[in-house]
Every structure is written in structure tokens, then in C-alpha cells.
Amino acid sequence: MNEDSTLLNNSTTLATIRNFLASEKPASITPLDILQMVHFMTCKAEDHDTYYSQQTLARMLNADTRSVARSQQRLASSEIDWIARPQRRGRTNAVSIKYQNIPAEEILRLKITPEAQQITLRYQTALRKCGRKKFPAQWLRQQFPSAQRIINDCGGDVELAARMIGHAMGHPRHRKKAMLGLYHVYGRWRKIEESFDASQQERQQAELTGQTAPQTAQTEVA
């Protein structure tokens, strides 16, 4: 995986944090708010939920739990709207960054192409056809960075990216992760590439010998 071809590589994250620290912020923002945002940026939470209990964050940031809770409420408020908190799992809160609302994340926004948005919509349609009914409010936008990574790794070939995502959704080794989101697809992208290439080679070999190629289930990302 070429570091330069990824979207949220460490250099992009570092540039984003520097821009964020240097940017003008609403008067209501506190130092604890800034610390939490920097932490979520280091977790690259633009394209997936992070799960940290408020107790853990309080310990990490040398604050008390109530202050962390108030800070997250402020960051998720309609006035600031920098983070999303779509669900709660036990003692932990799911938190992701709403990068579209943060001026300092312009670097990231400019790298996301219309093709990434298009393939995300196609992926969501395929998931619905497979029976998935519910999507968190922030889910669609969260897929854009990973969709762009996938397209970049496919050399800009959107249709190849769609076929490989469909392959992952239909393959028994990848299906469980592929049904969750493109962040999880990209997390095992090298394994998906290997099985996709293997299936292509089997098909080509079968065509040469006049035999029937082994059938690998594939979901159409149309």
C-alpha cells in the first residue's frame, strides 16, 4: 500500500491538526474541546467511529469525567457540530469527526472526488439489496474517505473498484466486514485484492482450457 496514495496518511493528519490548531475557533470552545478534537484526529476518526469511554478520555487528558461529557455535548451541539455521537455501547460512546464542518479539514475535503461519492451511493444500494435497512445519520459521509482510498488504489478505475467491493461482499472470507462499511473493506484491502486476483486467474485459466471456472459469489455494486 503506497503511503502517498492513501487519503488519511500521517502527513495529512498532521497537516490537519496543525491547521486546526492555527484556525479561528468559536468563543465557546475550551482547551479541553481542542484536546479532544486533536485526539479524534490522531485516531483518524473522519471515516469511522471511535469508542472511548469518557473515563478513559478523562484519564488521558487529565480531566474529570463530567468535564469530558460536557465537552462532547458542546462539540456535538448544533452551534458547533464538529463531532457525531450516533450510538452508545456499554460505557463507551461512538464518536466520529464531522470533517465537513471543520474549516481546518479543507485538505481532506478537497481530496474527495465525485467518483468517491458515487461509488459510496452504489455501495449503499448494494447493501440495501442484501437486506441492510438501517444506516446511522453520519454513515454515508463517513464512507467517502475510504471510497477515495479504494479508488486511488485501483488507479482511478471506478468500475474496477466497484467489482472488487462486490467481490468482497460476496466472498465468505470478507462478507462480514464488507457489510459493515468501506472503512472495514479497506482495512482488509490487501486480502481482498489477493482473493479477487485469484478468482480472475481461475476464470482466465478456465476460459483457456474450456472448463467451467469455480463460481465465487459476487454482489453487484451497480
Amino acid letter for position 33: D
Residue 221 maps to a domain: no
What is the span of the domain harbouring residue 67?
3-108
pTM to 2 decimal places: 0.69
Low-confidence winner among 75-79, 134-138, 183-187 (lowest mean pLDDT): 134-138
At which residue does the C-alpha cell 491538526 appear? 17
Is residue 163 within 8 Å of 202, Cβ to Cβ?
no
pLDDT digits (tens, 9 = 90+) for 23-56: 889 999 999 999 999 999 999 888 888 999 999 9
Rounded (10°) CA dihedral 15, 20, 24, 29: -170
Query: Does 103 lie in the same domain as 21?
Result: yes
Select from 108, 143, 163 the last residue of a domain. 108
Distance CA 196, CA 123 (A): 17
The pLDDT value recorded for residue 33 is: 97
What is the rounded average pLDDT for all residues in the chain? 86
Residue 148 maps to a domain: yes
Q: How many domains does the chain have?
A: 2
| DSSP assignment of 105-118 | GHHHHHH--HHHHH
159-186: average pLDDT: 94
The secondary structure of residue 52, as a DSSP letter, is E
Query: Does 163 lie in the same domain as 91?
Result: no
Query: Does 128 lie in the same domain as 69?
Result: no
Query: Does 66 lie in the same domain as 129?
Result: no
CB within 8 Å of 33: residues ≥ 6 apart: 71, 74, 75, 80
Distance CA 47, CA 138 (A): 10
Query: Does 152 lie in the same domain as 66?
Result: no
Higher-pLDDT residue of 124 and 208 is 124
Residue 68 maps to a domain: yes
109-126: average pLDDT: 91
Query: Does 96 lie in the same domain as 12?
Result: yes
Distance CA 201, CA 207 (A): 10
